[in-house]
Amino acid sequence: MSWQGKVLRVNLTAGTCTSEPLNMAWAEAYLGQRGLATKYLLEEIDPKVDPLSPDNKLIIATGPLTGTNASTGGRWSAVTKGPLTGAIACSNSGGQFGGELKMAGWDFIIFEGRSEKPVYLYLEDEHAELLDASHLWGGSVWQIEPQIKKAHEDPLIRVASIGPAGENMVRYACIVNDLHRAAGRSGVGAVMGSKHLKAIAVRGTTGVNVVDHKKFFAAVKATNTTLNDSEGRMGLTRYGTIPMMDITSSFGALPTRNNREVQFEGHEQINVTAMQEPNERGHTNFIANGACFGCTIGCGRICHIDPEHFSVKDRPQYQHASGGLEYETAYALGAAVGVNDIDAATFAGFMCNEYGMDPISLGGTIAAAMELYDIGVITQEHTGGLDLAFGNAEVLCQISEMAGKGEGFGVDIGLGSKLLCEKYGRPDLSMAVKGQEFAAYDGRGMQGMGLAYATSNRGACHLRANPYADDFGTTAPEGKPIMVKDSQDLIAAIDSSGLCVFTTHAGVEVTHYANQVDAACGGGWTPERFLETGERIWNLERQFNLAAGLTAADDTLPKRILEEPAPSGAAKGMVCQLPHMLPKYYELRGWTADGEIKSETLSRLGLG
Smallest distance from other proteins to CB 48, Å: 33
Contact 576, 562 (CB under 8 A): yes
Q: What is the dihedral of CA 135, 138, 143, 148, to 10 degrees?
A: 40
- The residue count for binding other proteins (CB under 8 A) is 40
Select the span of 203-211, 357-365, 438-446, 590-598 touching other proteins (CB under 8 A): 438-446
Interacting residue with other proteins among 185, 405, 505, 536 (CB under 8 A): 505
Q: Does 513 bind other proteins (CB under 8 A)?
A: no
Interacting residue with other proteins among 141, 201, 220, 236 (CB under 8 A): 236
Of the pair 355, 441, the CB lying nearest other proteins is at 441
Q: Does 251 bind other proteins (CB under 8 A)?
A: yes
Smallest distance from other proteins to CB 541, Å: 20
The DSSP string of 98-145 is: HHHHHHTT-SEEEEES--SS-EEEEEETTEEEEEE-TTTTT--HHHHH
Q: Does 504 bind other proteins (CB under 8 A)?
A: yes
Contacts of 294 (CB under 8 A, 6+ apart): 68, 69, 70, 71, 72, 73, 74, 99
Interacting residue with other proteins among 92, 115, 241, 488 (CB under 8 A): 241
Interacting residue with other proteins among 123, 244, 378, 403 (CB under 8 A): 244
Question: Residue 592 region, left (φ>0) first, then alpha (ψ -120 to 50), else beta?
Answer: beta
Smallest distance from other proteins to CB 79, Å: 22
Q: What does the alpha-carbon distance between residue 145 and residue 162 come to, in Å, rounded to a whole number?
A: 10
Of the pair 502, 544, the CB lying nearest other proteins is at 502
Select the span of 176-184, 368-376, 428-436, 467-475 touching other proteins (CB under 8 A): 467-475
Smallest distance from other proteins to CB 551, Å: 28
Select the span of 109-117, 237-245, 311-319, 512-520 touching other proteins (CB under 8 A): 237-245
Select the span of 32-40, 287-295, 302-310, 468-476 touching other proteins (CB under 8 A): 468-476
Of the pair 216, 468, the CB lying nearest other proteins is at 468
Of the pair 278, 579, the CB lying nearest other proteins is at 278
Single-letter residue type at 389:
A
Smallest distance from other proteins to CB 92, Å: 13
Of the pair 346, 543, the CB lying nearest other proteins is at 346
Contact 93, 560 (CB under 8 A): no
- Give SS3 for 82: coil
Q: Does 472 bind other proteins (CB under 8 A)?
A: yes
Smallest distance from other proteins to CB 21, Å: 37
Smallest distance from other proteins to CB 203, Å: 31
Of the pair 8, 90, the CB lying nearest other proteins is at 90
Q: What does the alpha-carbon distance between residue 358 and residue 190 come to, in Å, rounded to a whole number?
A: 11
Interacting residue with other proteins among 247, 291, 377, 552 (CB under 8 A): 247
Q: Does 469 bind other proteins (CB under 8 A)?
A: yes
Q: What does the alpha-carbon distance between residue 90 and residue 463 come to, in Å, rounded to a whole number?
A: 11
Contact 483, 506 (CB under 8 A): no
Select the span of 85-93, 353-361, 568-576, 583-591 touching other proteins (CB under 8 A): 568-576
Contact 30, 493 (CB under 8 A): no
Q: 375-399 burial, b for 16+ CB within 10 Å, e for fewer?
A: eeebeeebbeebebebebbebbbbb
Select the span of 143-151, 325-333, 343-351, 518-526 touching other proteins (CB under 8 A): 325-333
| Strand-strand pairing, 108-112 and 6-11 | parallel
C-alpha distances in Å from residue 26, one per residue of 43, 78, 103, 424, 541: 11, 18, 22, 45, 15
Q: Does 327 bind other proteins (CB under 8 A)?
A: yes
Q: Does 246 bind other proteins (CB under 8 A)?
A: yes
Single-letter residue type at 575:
V
Run of H or E including 226:
helix 213-229
Binding mask 369-398 for other proteins (x = CB under 8 A): ------------------------------
Of the pair 147, 230, the CB lying nearest other proteins is at 230
Interacting residue with other proteins among 3, 172, 216, 239 (CB under 8 A): 239
- Give SS3 for 81: strand
Smallest distance from other proteins to CB 268, Å: 9
- Give SS3 for 433: strand
Nearest to 300 by CA among 291, 310, 311: 291
Single-letter residue type at 140:
S
Of the pair 139, 240, the CB lying nearest other proteins is at 240
Interacting residue with other proteins among 441, 513, 538, 586 (CB under 8 A): 441
Of the pair 234, 291, the CB lying nearest other proteins is at 234
Select the span of 17-25, 94-102, 185-193, 464-472 touching other proteins (CB under 8 A): 464-472
Smallest distance from other proteins to CB 501, Å: 9
Q: What does the alpha-carbon distance between residue 142 and residue 149 come to, in Å, rounded to a whole number?
A: 12
Q: Does 569 bind other proteins (CB under 8 A)?
A: yes
Q: Does 328 bind other proteins (CB under 8 A)?
A: yes
Report the site for other proteins in 138-197 (rule: CB under 8 A): none
Binding mask 261-300 for other proteins (x = CB under 8 A): -----------xx---x---------------------x-
C-alpha distances in Å from residue 407, one per residue of 78, 223, 401, 479: 27, 48, 8, 47
Select the span of 56-64, 304-312, 429-437, 563-571 touching other proteins (CB under 8 A): 563-571
Q: Give me the helix-helix angle, 213-229 and 510-521, nearest 10°.
A: 160
Contact 38, 79 (CB under 8 A): yes
Smallest distance from other proteins to CB 327, Å: 5
Contact 573, 565 (CB under 8 A): yes
Question: Residue 170 region, left (φ>0) first, then alpha (ψ -120 to 50), else beta?
Answer: beta
Q: Does 466 bind other proteins (CB under 8 A)?
A: yes
Contacts 24+ apart (CB under 8 A), 373-380: 377/424, 377/425, 377/426, 378/424
Binding site for other proteins (CB under 8 A): 231-232, 234-236, 238-241, 243-244, 246-247, 250-252, 272-273, 277, 299, 326-328, 439-441, 462-463, 466, 468-469, 472-474, 502, 504-505, 568-570
